[in-house]
Chains A and B, each alone.
Chain A
Amino acid sequence: MSQNKAARGGASSKGKRSNKPGAEEKREDVLQAVLIADSFQTRFEPFSVERPRCLLPLANTPLIEYTLEFLAMNGVQEVFIYCGAHHEQIERYIHDSRWSPSSRSCPFSSLEFIRIADARSIGDFLRDLDKRNIIDGDFVLVHGDLVANISLDGALAAHRARREANRDSCMTMVLREAGDGGHNTKTNGITPAFIIDPNAKRCLHYEEITPFQTDRYVTLDPTVLEAREAEARTDLIDAEIDICTPDVLALWSESFDYELPRANFLHGVLKDWELNGKMIHTEIINEGYSARASNLQMYDAISKDVLSGWAYPFTPECNIFPGQTYRLRGDNTYQEDEVEVAPGSQVHDSILGKDTHIGDESSISNSVIGRSCRIGSNVRIVDSFVWDGATIHDGAVVEHSIIAERGVVGKKVYVHEGSLISYGVSLSDETDVEPATMLSLLSYSGQAVSPQPELVGSQGKGALFHNPEDDEADHDDPSILQKSLIYSLEDLDIETSSVSTLADDDYMSDDESNPISPTASQPTSRSRLSSFASDDSGAPSYSGFHSDAVHGLLDVLRGTSGNFESEKLEFTSLRLANNASDGAMRRAVATAFVRRAIELMNAESEPLEPIKAAKQVLTSREGASEFVTDVGVGDRSVTEQTEFALAVQKACANSAKLVEVAKAGNLLAAMLQQMYDLDILEEEGILGWWEDERGKEDGQMAGVREKCQALVEWLENADEEESEDDDDDDDDE
């Protein structure tokens, strides 16, 4: 330390490499922060299609305001904001706000945007940051959806002391105690488990526990427990406030496939402690508030906390956001100026924005109403969020839902729990919105969709929002639990399951756990063979594998990038990184090929017939069939082939949303035929698949299977006659 004091005079010694202690100290009086303004998640859909999560209003204030205010409150001087999707909106917002570096009231000495257009994860951001060399010392890493009022001074000082004692202490995580019992502000679905040495405050191990796990155990490396005390803490709220040294960025760079700061990075670094020697510490606080609005359930919980004053001074009354004029009225209601509440109405425990009018005999409780909202008479709004400029006509009922900006709810409409009504959606009079319905004017890709009168009424605007990637996501991916406003395991049937059910989930009907239409889910047949249990469960980082793998493969199949040689390498590394199972590999390969085939069939310019599509997808790119053989099928045993055929069937069945069932069936037959011709699948494999019980399920699965009858018959005949490579079954199509 004394040495550092002496070095203060040489503050301009910029030539040094940033990861040397001498340079680290050079500007320590300036605190830097990195704000991640893109989540790479879809948990706020449909709202996040049009607007980044950090600009969504929480208690009528954009989320990023809380985060920046938190940084300013802790004396941060330089801020780097990493943007991905919607970066232009974020930049425009900041530019027009008091945070703009040109604004005189900006508390930061500098605020810079860094845009990484092709980033696909937070890991890409941090690896980019490492390359830029703009971080000189300790910095605070936060996300753009953070609401916190804690003071970091203590944690920063402790971090510094640790770093000076041992240069390998590279990161301090600030965690909030939240008790062992249930807590609204804890994340549902994914429980972080920290194994911590309580004396040294060192984090030894990190896992995420999900309801999908069979065993609910955390596996520890025995070395973790050597000669140390260890506490397993699952009672912590992790708002992902990290105090990092530049070494952390170097670690990110070393592990090119890490994506998530916790499930990948933290887990990985701690596991490889003996290799990298880096230590990560925790600072567990028991005062103050910190939480991330990382999903809609947390959004709900944090809004309630703000309303009850837990995030003080970030309460509406403190009017942190310039221009707000909230004052507390009776009944714990915060009102801005020019709010009109008709005398007969009851409002309690709510927030009412400027220029909002509420008609007679309405009742509003535990809700947040934005600015310039028009609320009619006899309206009942409970536990809901109504954003700026929404209109709710007479007699409507809104229960525990979100009505986004400019939404219109017609007369006597009933919006049931968990519904998400996106920007500008209009519901005509007397519509009944089923629980947990997502309505939007745009599709997941941002295209305008035509209205669905059966959902929004004859005069309404909006359609069911649906992201096809949700279908492909594994059903044991805990993130699906966080996609709805209301947390529920009901539709998932986890509690009743036996040991083998997790594998069942893989092959369950698609709608099963889909938060969009839980009412539509049919009862699952649970008559599974126990031998079917696979090893899919438990791996915390498994979630991202499927979508990444499918996207990567699709790119190759489309011919836009790479070839199968390199893709195979990438696929293998992806698999190792995510600890994905054989089943997951099969599914990913099958899904990618089927999706490409469907793309060809649906192509606008020259749609292909299923046979041609199957042929093209399997043969047009060099190495495709070898790839399928090696990666998809594996060791060519009959069982493996059966499994792969099943995966293809499943993928075709899933795609029935995009094409008719008959066409999907044709495609399946063509694909199998083609794979037979290419020696990817052998007769025994296909016949084994045909016999397999799992393929005979009701619904789409059986639907697509029917079409293969001819193929199978031909195969059986061919078997008997042991002859002919005749293709005449193609004529069946």
Chain B
Amino acid sequence: MGPPKGGYAPDLDKFLDTLKSRPVDASVDFLISLLKRRQIQGSESCAIATARVLLQVVAKDKWIDVDQLIGRIQLVGRKLVAAQPHELVIGNIVKRVLGLIRDEASEDRNDIANDSPPGGTTTLPPSIETVPVEKSIRPPSLAAFGSFARSQSMFTLLSDPDFIPSPSSTSQLGSGSSTPQRYPQSTNVQALKSEVIDGIEEIVDEIRQVDEQIQNYADIYIHPGDYIMVHQPSRTVQRFLTRAASKRKFTVLIVVDPSASHISDDPYASFRKALTSGGSTVVNIMNVGLMAYMSRVDKVILGARAITSTGGVVVDSGAAAIARAAREQGRTVIVLGGVYKVSPDSRSHQEAFVEWGSPSKYVNFADGRMVGQVKVRNVVAEFVSSELVNTYVTNLGAHSKDHLHGIIADHYNDEDVNFDLFGKTQR
């Protein structure tokens, strides 16, 4: 009967639904279109979509060794980052997945290195990866084994009882090359694949659980009687405060942008209800009036879109002014955001993090004179430099600025941290 639920327009859910039935490349292109058209936006949605599509790449693509897989992920990652360069989490997830593959692969190598003779780690240079299967030497049958055996094959055969002849293992036979390679031919692509897939699933779970985990720290930061200022609270911030409000009474000042788009229903109605039911007070203030309140405020809580390695935070537009005001008055600024938002990205100029959106948020397009005569610019996100932030709360707990490097070191592989995802992909 009728149209698909929620209309025809594609979004994150529709994208995830179609992932399984589409070829990988089509999914990647579909995601790129959705990112470009901003039909998937917001850091959490972007992160989940990226992780899911990379999972498909790992699961469905034909890759025969780790380097090829890494190259493939890098290529797809670059395309995705190019599609929405302002959303840092896309790059984060790509680098997380790359790190994951390297970790799994090196675990493998360690296993192999422990048991196998030295020759076992020499393999083909990547350039010969495309050798067609037919041309490669057939894996030796057991009967022929005696005369044909090499230590390598022997090892593979013995170490893996479920040994399935695959192009990757057989092509090693033809290799006379001693080119050293960082990652060995995995003896079992299947095993590596399933480990990587599990790893990506864990990343997705982590992203989904961020809000829940962060709200556990609410009690530590919010005290009875506090005056808390929030700016267009994201779901993370909302849940953080709701949790605190279930136990304590405090006052929340919600700063709302004076926007031209007249949304009649209050987007924070349920949030407000949750807070007041616990006895807390909620005050709505327009962005312009916030300075007057700042002297009463104890803490400012901001939801991050992304956190850079230097401690700078990408926030919704309007929040930077609040952070600056809080700094002037010596108030505490707390930034909430999952670990997946902490980016190893080291781009220096802040402009790169900032995206300009449609001016229609502030000026109605129907106002012909304004449209014709006045240049209206609407920034989607702003950059808050690290000096304005006191504490970062992630799903792993609270961190100071200096601590962020530790998080990055824990979650990303060194090789990927400096990998430039912004390189040219389209050539």
Contact = CB atoms under 8 A, between A and B. Distances in A.
Interface of A: 1, 4-5, 7-8, 25, 28-29, 31, 69, 72-76, 98, 104-105, 107, 151-154, 156-157, 160, 176-179, 181-186, 235, 286-289, 305, 308-313, 315, 317-320, 322-323, 325, 328, 332, 337, 349
A156 B7 contact: yes
Given A309-B378, A319-B36, A325-B424, A157 B356 contact: no
Given A178-B365, A179-B368, A182-B369, A107 B33 contact: yes
Given A308-B376, A313-B36, A31 B1 contact: no
Interface residues of B, number: 45
27 contacts: A1-B1, A28-B3, A29-B3, A31-B3, A72-B33, A72-B37, A73-B10, A75-B4, A105-B33, A151-B7, A151-B9, A153-B6, A156-B8, A160-B3, A178-B368, A179-B364, A179-B366, A183-B366, A286-B364, A287-B360, A308-B359, A309-B356, A310-B365, A312-B360, A313-B37, A319-B82, A320-B36
Nearest to A185: B371
A167 to B, nearest CB: 16
A222 to B, nearest CB: 31
Interface in B1-26: 1-4, 6-10, 14, 23, 25-26
A558 to B, nearest CB: 49
B39 to A, nearest CB: 7
A8 B8 contact: no
B147 interface: no
A75 B7 contact: yes
Contacts of A309: 356-359, 377-378
A72 B7 CA distance: 13
B402 interface: no
Contacts of A288: 360
B372 A153 contact: no
A152 B3 contact: no
Q: Is the interface of B mostly helix, strand, loop or mixed?
A: loop
B9 A98 contact: no
B367 interface: yes
Contacts of B29: 98, 104-105
B62 interface: no
A293 B254 CA distance: 43
A29 B367 CA distance: 37
A349 B33 CA distance: 26
A372 to B, nearest CB: 15
A505 B376 CA distance: 43
Given A104-B25, A151-B7, A286 B356 contact: no
Contact of A183 (B6, B25, B368): B368
B264 interface: no
A73 B7 contact: no
A314 to B, nearest CB: 8
A182 B261 contact: no
A178 B39 contact: no
Contacts of A105: 25-26, 29-30, 32-33
A183 B9 contact: no
Contacts of A182: 368-369, 372
A99 B8 CA distance: 19
A176 B365 CA distance: 9
A15 to B, nearest CB: 19
A76 to B, nearest CB: 7
Contacts of A74: 8-9
B347 interface: no
Interface string B254-279: 00000001000000000000000000
B235 interface: no
A566 B128 CA distance: 75
A104 B14 CA distance: 18
A31 B358 contact: no
B369 to A, nearest CB: 6
A154 B3 CA distance: 12
Contact of A312 (B1, B357, B424): B357
Given A152-B8, A185-B371, A318-B37, 9 more contacts: A76-B8, A104-B26, A178-B368, A186-B368, A286-B364, A289-B358, A309-B357, A310-B371, A313-B38
Contacts of A325: 82, 424, 426
B30 to A, nearest CB: 7
A73 B37 contact: yes
B37 A320 contact: yes
A318 B86 CA distance: 10
Contact of B424 (A31, A72, A337): A337
Interface string B178-195: 000000000000000000
A76 B8 CA distance: 7
Nearest to B22: A104
A680 B37 CA distance: 66
Given A104-B23, A105-B26, A309-B377, A5 B365 contact: no
Nearest to B30: A107
Contacts of B1: 1, 4-5, 7-8, 25, 28
B135 interface: no
Contact of A179 (B367, B377, B424): B367
A624 to B, nearest CB: 53
A183 B369 CA distance: 7
B377 A156 contact: no
B169 to A, nearest CB: 30
A289 B38 contact: no
Contacts of A4: 1-2
